[in-house]
Amino acid sequence: MEDKSSLIFIMIASYRDPQLINTIRDCLDKAKHPERIRFGICRQYAKMDTWDHRYEFADDPRFRWHEVLWNQSKGCCWSRSKGQELYDGEKYYLQIDSHMRFAYDWDAGLIEMLEGLRDAGSEKPLLTTYVGGYDPLLNWGGNDWGMLNLDPAPCRMTCHKWYDEGIPAFRPQRMDGWENLKSPEPAAFLSAHFIFTYGTWIEEVPYDPDLYFIGEEPTLAARSYTHGWDLFAPHINPIWHEYTRQYRVNNKHWDDHGEKNKSGLEKTWDERNKLSIERCKAVFGQIDGIDLGRYGLGTERTFKDFERLCGLDFQREAVGVFDDHSMDGRTGKIYYDLDKFTGRPAGGYSES
């Protein structure tokens, strides 16, 4: 039986994405221990995309695939749920999008950070943030030339508005002075394109397959926190994300799953999104009458604790409303001692 105590399970949900293979290649090329990586990929494809293949990874034993035609896909969170079903007990879990680039030794660096947070007193740490951006036309990956002009600065997440549906929206904020940071920064929000934690997280906080897209991140943050997970933004940027979708013309999920293709679909994206919003509101306590089952809040902390953590009032759709804002609503104190952080300080990843 395989020893899984040092393995990283990487979950990727890919929808007709020409960046998927380059993402995988760069991930493995930059890893310190590529032999310790296992992939679970939900690949949603169209037969007309002649470029969309597994290539050299088709028979690689490190890869597990769930493949489905584009018109059978049920959206972002459904595909991530399918990807999580491929998990097989690996110690660490990394969730990324199918359009990413990596720092050298990213795997060793993330493990150092996570284990350092546990040493500092967090029993269930989770690293997450909106990472820096890259340009697929310039940053093709694989070597130093493919990493030109990448900003090494880490970012935190901030809430900048509320959607009309009553759901908060986030954006990245550069960590000024990051070169002097010694440890990850306590956080309240969660990024679905970058999560690094222990594999047990997906057993405690599994993806709700009935969510569509909007609300994915704040519901996961609330569920994770109330299940006892502590969120942190890395103080060293390990990965970059492509935000603009400039290289993808009319092949995104909501492009394909609209009225023009309705006859070949179970539901349009708009129909799925309306049902999804109702489930999000149920998580936030904005409506009653929906049984979320295992996709609801945890019991280790309350939703009010989460509101105090992030400074949001979901009933009033307000920001910065708690005078006693803290990273632990139960005690009013940060209950982990980051002075005891034993991971890598800012300035790079381990060379050993």
Q: For 195-215, write each residue's pLDDT tens digit.
A: 999 999 999 999 999 998 889
Mean pLDDT, rounded, for 264-285: 87
pLDDT at 272: 87
Q: Is residue 297 part of a domain?
A: no
pLDDT at 119: 95
β partners of residue 44: 15, 68
β partners of residue 42: 13, 66
- Please report, for the domain that includes residue 177, its CATH number: 3.90.550.10
pLDDT at 268: 77
Mean pLDDT, rounded, for 64-83: 95
Return mean pLDDT, the chain: 88
pLDDT at 144: 65
**Number of domains making up the chain:** 1
Question: From the centroid of its chain, how far is CA 154?
Answer: 15
Q: Is residue 257 part of a domain?
A: no
pLDDT at 249: 60
Q: Is residue 283 part of a domain?
A: no
Helix axes 216-226, 303-310, angle to 10 degrees: 120
Q: Which residues contact 51 (CB under 8 A, 6 or more apart)?
A: 18
Domain extent at residue 155: 8-249
Q: Is residue 304 part of a domain?
A: no
Q: Is residue 323 part of a domain?
A: no
Question: From the centroid of its chain, how far is CA 227?
Answer: 17
pLDDT at 221: 98
Of 140, 326, 80, 345, nearest to 236 by C-alpha is 345
How many CB atoms within 10 Å of residue 34? 12
pLDDT band at 331 (very low <50, low <70, confident <90, very high): very low
In the predicted structure, residue 347 carries a pLDDT above the cut 60: no
Contact assessment for residue 118 and residue 125, using Cβ atoms and an 8 Å cutoff: yes
The two tokens of residue 287 are 């409506």
Q: Is residue 298 part of a domain?
A: no
Contact assessment for residue 212 and residue 293, using Cβ atoms and an 8 Å cutoff: no
The two tokens of residue 175 are 């960590």
Q: Is residue 232 part of a domain?
A: yes
pLDDT at 250: 64
Give this prediction's pTM.
0.92
Mean pLDDT, rounded, for 260-286: 85
Q: Is residue 310 part of a domain?
A: no
